[in-house]
Amino acid sequence: MDKTLATDEMWEAYTGATGRGGDYTVGAFGDHPQLVDELLALVLDGTKRATAAAVREFELVGEPLPRAGDHFVVLDSAGTPRCICRTTEVRIGPLSSVRPAFAWDEGEGDRTREDWLHEHSRYFDRVAEHAGIDLPEDVEVAFERFAVVWPAEHADPPQGPRSELDPFNLTDTYLHLRLGAGVAALPGGPEFWTKIGERPHLERGRLVSSFPVEADWEHWERLLTGGRVLYLLDGSIDLILELPTGQETVELRGRQGIVVPPGVWHRAVVHEPGELLTITPGATTEHRGV
């Protein structure tokens, strides 16, 4: 697909905000308008982070195969640019070599390998018919994973500087459970919260962390969107909740927890120091003094 003034403007906004350079291509997911918009919706809500195309498709349009680090602007069915993706991984192999994890990351249908093979076989049949060519049953495929990098409200959070197989502690490494199936490890600790306003992408999905509770909270907290899970791993605390009916105290002892509803002010009174696990939206938290 050709670049337009609109795709150039989106690319310039991205490079101006991030300092990145280089070039980009333009494309859409799917081969008919309804599918284009359905797949785009899966990308924007965080479900779809992989795509697959026959190697022959690239040859037919004279485009090179994707490479890790490539950027592409994604269009909707009306030709409007909606986001920018960066390729993170490419593997070339026969259709039958698709792995269950890849089928899941592509986010389509029931996300199983069997469903993926069925639907992609149908897709490649349509490609062959439209192009007037023959494709082998076990066609050679470019299996591509990607991340959304722009605009900021849809961008994936940056990955933490660690291997996925390294053990971690939730007090210094937080997990962002994105909508769909994605999980990102983020450097945590007290400094993380001082910059929470610079991380609007964390509002999508849930943030998992833990922290020591050693003294009574000197402030009240409330979340404006979504409930907050507070699970006491050890120790003894009381949670004070400001409900419409008045204040209520919930006693939490080791390995107990509650879900705090959105909009409810709450604070902790510590009887025995311990550690508190939280599952919460990653932003929209308010504080006020006791």
> Which of 27-36, 156-165, 166-175, 181-190 is most confident?
27-36
C-alpha–C-alpha distance, residues 259 and 60, integer Å: 55
The residue assigned the tokens 């960066």 is 86
Secondary structure percentages of the chain, helix, strand, coil, to 5: 25, 40, 35
C-alpha–C-alpha distance, residues 232 and 250, integer Å: 12
Query: For 9-45, how does the pLDDT look when each residue is reduced to its tens digit (9 = 90+)?
Result: 999 999 998 888 889 999 999 989 999 999 999 999 9
The yes-or-no verdict on residue 115 having pLDDT over 90 is yes
The yes-or-no verdict on residue 169 having pLDDT over 80 is no
The residue assigned the tokens 């660690």 is 162
Give residue 190's pLDDT.
66
Give residue 161's pLDDT.
41
Query: For 127-164, how does the pLDDT look when each residue is reduced to its tens digit (9 = 90+)?
Result: 899 989 889 999 999 999 999 999 988 988 765 444 45
C-alpha distances out from residue 82 to 49, 103, 144, Å? 15, 24, 19
| CA-based nearest residue to 178, from 153, 202, 142, 145 | 202
Give residue 191's pLDDT.
65
